[in-house]
Structure 1
Amino acid sequence: MRPACHVISGLRTGGAETMLVALCGGLLARGMPQHVVSLTGDGPNAAALERLGVTVHRLAPRGAAGSAVALLRLARLIRSLRPAVVQGWLYHGDLFAAGAHRLAGAPRDALLAWGLRNSDIDHARYGRLLAIGRRLSGWPGLVVSNSRAGVDFHLAEGYRPRRLAVIPNGIDTVRFRPDPAARAALRRELGLSDEAVVAIHAARLDPMKDHATLLAAAACRPEVHFLLAGEGTLGLDLPANARALGRRDDLWRIQAAGDIAVSSSAFGEGFSNAVAEGMAAGLVPVATSVGDAGAILGGLGCLVPPRDPAALAEALRAMATLPAPARRAAGLAARARIETAYGVGAMAERFLAAWIAAGAVIGGGGPRTGGGE
């Protein structure tokens, strides 16, 4: 089977990077070799990919001249690997994949695909990339979005792809699961009792995640303990019932210690991994109605308007005051929904089907030469 070559801006611990690792694992299990090109060098998920058997190529361009060199190196890699598909991830990865695909001669048997991972965005920060993507959106043979909200946003912004596919994220329900031993151990570490109601907020510090609304709601709910896991959270000014854990590479363990999975995002989310992973771990979800959150919850838990601390606080109160057996039952129903609708295997199969439908030739061929860049 011919390989897939993924191009992504970096391999830190964000949602897109986590999904890339999951997808590569699912595709490897189906016999398809995987190569990942990182445009910012290493990150925690580089090691995770290599443990799976994925070849990671690190380009890390610096400045305009460095970007040009990196683009040429990526084009050479595409010619060498002869992949079935060159799959971009995030705006930078999409644009580098498109440019290198063209420089490589736009091989007809190597499908160019883009990956959209967000819905509405901050135009002040990403407007230039969005404008370039809009102009080039007819280049790829396929554009994959992880949410319907992401498709609607980009079409409204002027994207005109030849073919679209919506493929929701796949959640590792073996890793993210109810785990009484991990729950008890982490609670002991943090000095939390078995009876404490704990809400988990897993998100880096970023305006789109709206920590301000979360903390305002938390201050209104002193009976709930909040654990904030994410890069940048250690510098936050927190109410007495909240604790920042900083960046964590063991989110499955953090989620297992909780009762409620909360997302306070104000904009930009496509498919929230944090909500879905929390649900897989048996937590009841409380989320703002951003991106495809409503589809993920499927009528479970509480969905509230964004940027509304009072509504978020009331939803947290409703979940926290459920009797413990009822809350556990609601969490198990949430897990069952993720297992049924959002497994890793289903995501891998959907990617393969979308690539093939767009013209990728998956079988036969292979790289002319091996080795990383």
Structure 2
Amino acid sequence: MRRALHIITGLGVGGAERQLRALLRRLPLPCDVVTLTEPGQVATELAADGVRVAHLGMLGNRDMSALPRLARLIRRGRYDVVHTHLYRACVYGRVAARMAGVRAVVATEHSLGARRIEGRPLTPSTRALYLATERVGSATVAVSHTVARRLADWGVPPRRIHLVPNGIEPAHFRFDPGARAVARARLGLPDNALAVGGVGRLVAGKRFGALVRAVAALPDDVWLVLAGEGPERAALRALAARLGVGRRVVLAGAWPDVRGLLAALDVLVSPSREETFGLAVLEGLAAGLPVLHAACPAVDELPEGAAPGARRVASDPDAIAAALREERAWGARRLPVPEALERYGMERVAERLMDVYRGVCAR
């Protein structure tokens, strides 16, 4: 193998996008990246890393002119492996790779839920298109056992499914008091505030509204920081104002320094009822935070008791508020980082992915 091309739907700040950047730092072969849309912050960061990034300028889901343009780009690059990420990139990328004559085509399934994929409803037509293009590829990577089971239930042959979890670098998130002071000042958090955090796309499925309601039921020294962008931003701001906690709810946007953000927090909450992996939960644990989560396959797949800082809670406001009252009684604290997180170390993940590449290239 000489070179690989990664195709992704967009490169704004998101879990799959951040995961791609971290992965490329560890893969032991040169890689280029194509983004179909939105050459955002992560595109800039990849370019700073020395990765060549091309923007296809796709106009929408049905912009069929993107297919021959992408095939020409792949053909010119003479790539040994094409690796696609996220639904639109998987659909177009797998077909374009085969049009370009590349037979080693891998797709990572980051966000396949029971009823939604990447926040969009899983309609019969969405599922049919996904399965039709999956057959054009060589292998599909599932980021958790949960996703692997869903793919098999859909009818993807088990021999084509490879489990390669998302990766983290726990040392990167190690708590830094200096970073905490800087981030809390930037966020406008009072010195005595217990900072509760939620990290992710501001979409209905993340259930951040339940977190706003939970914080509204708590004393004034409990503040909420929501880091992320999305269509629910205005609704969350309006909900906080209606509940009289607008001052205590900080909508931080796409915060670029995740390590600093986690250092600023005292508790991380993931109220989503359905997750395909739960990367934010792992990052919170790596930062030494107590973490409350409604669903997290990454924690579920660790040995029992291996992540004592993670506690499962129901995703309704009352249950979250009750758990946060207990955390408030403890006060701001840092917990030992679970050694089990090394299971998801990025070096291990990159090596497992290289095994997939070697397998599809040998066929």
- Secondary structure of 2:173's match? coil
1:77 equivalent in alignment to 2:73: yes
Displacement of 1:96: 1.2
| Distance (Å, rounded) in 2 between the aligned partners of 1:341 and 1:191 | 36
Cα distance per residue 1:216-272 (max 9 Å; x no partner): 2222333532111111465222252332212222222111111212111122x2122
Contact 1:10 1:42 in 2 (8 A): yes
State the TM-score, normalized to the length of structure 2: 0.86
Cα distance per residue 1:118-139 (max 9 Å; x no partner): 2324376342332211233333
Displacement of 1:161: 5.5
State the AA in 1 paired with 2:116. Answer: D
2:330 maps to what in 1? 322
State the AA in 2 paired with 1:5. Answer: L
| Distance (Å, rounded) in 2 between the aligned partners of 1:146 and 1:321 | 36
Q: Which runs of 5+ in 1 are unaligned?
A: 362-373
Displacement of 1:306: 4.8
Cα distance per residue 1:82-111 (max 9 Å; x no partner): 222111101111111211122113x34xx1
| Distance (Å, rounded) in 2 between the aligned partners of 1:337 and 1:320 | 27
The percent of aligned pairs where both chains have the same amino acid is 34
- Secondary structure of 1:266's match? coil
Contact 1:91 1:130 in 2 (8 A): no
CA RMSD of aligned residues (A): 2.5
User: Please, which moves more after superposition, 302-311 or 2-11?
Assistant: 302-311
**Residue number among 135, 149, 153 corresponding to 1:152 in the alignment:** 149
| Distance (Å, rounded) in 2 between the aligned partners of 1:187 and 1:61 | 38
Q: How does 1:32-43 map to 2 (within 5 A)?
A: 32-43=29-40
Decide whether aligned partners of structure 1 residues 307 and 282 sit closer, same or farther in structure 2, where only a CA change above 3 A counts: closer
Decide whether aligned partners of structure 1 residues 191 and 82 sit closer, same or farther in structure 2, where only a CA change above 3 A counts: closer
1:48 equivalent in alignment to 2:45: yes
1:130 maps to what in 2? 127
- Secondary structure of 2:121's match? helix
1:295 maps to what in 2? 301
- Secondary structure of 2:223's match? strand
Q: Paired residues, what number?
A: 347
**Residue number among 307, 310, 318 corresponding to 2:315 in the alignment:** 307
State the AA in 2 paired with 1:25. Answer: R
2:19 maps to what in 1? 19
**Residue number among 252, 259, 264 corresponding to 1:257 in the alignment:** 264
2:229 maps to what in 1? 231
State the AA in 2 paired with 1:42. Answer: P
User: Please, which moves more after superposition, 279-288 or 289-298?
Assistant: 289-298
1:166 equivalent in alignment to 2:163: yes
| Distance (Å, rounded) in 2 between the aligned partners of 1:206 and 1:73 | 32
1:196 maps to what in 2? 193
State the TM-score, normalized to the length of structure 1: 0.84
| Distance (Å, rounded) in 1 between the aligned partners of 2:145 and 2:55 | 32
| Distance (Å, rounded) in 2 between the aligned partners of 1:64 and 1:302 | 38
State the AA in 2 paired with 1:114. Answer: A
Decide whether aligned partners of structure 1 residues 195 and 342 sit closer, same or farther in structure 2, where only a CA change above 3 A counts: farther
State the AA in 1 paired with 2:207. Answer: D
- Secondary structure of 1:310's match? helix
| Distance (Å, rounded) in 2 between the aligned partners of 1:303 and 1:159 | 33
Q: How does 1:108-119 map to 2 (within 5 A)?
A: 108=103, 111-118=104-111, 119=113
| Distance (Å, rounded) in 2 between the aligned partners of 1:337 and 1:194 | 33
Contact 2:34 2:56 in 1 (8 A): yes
User: Please, which moves more after superposition, 239-248 or 190-199?
Assistant: 190-199
Displacement of 1:47: 0.7
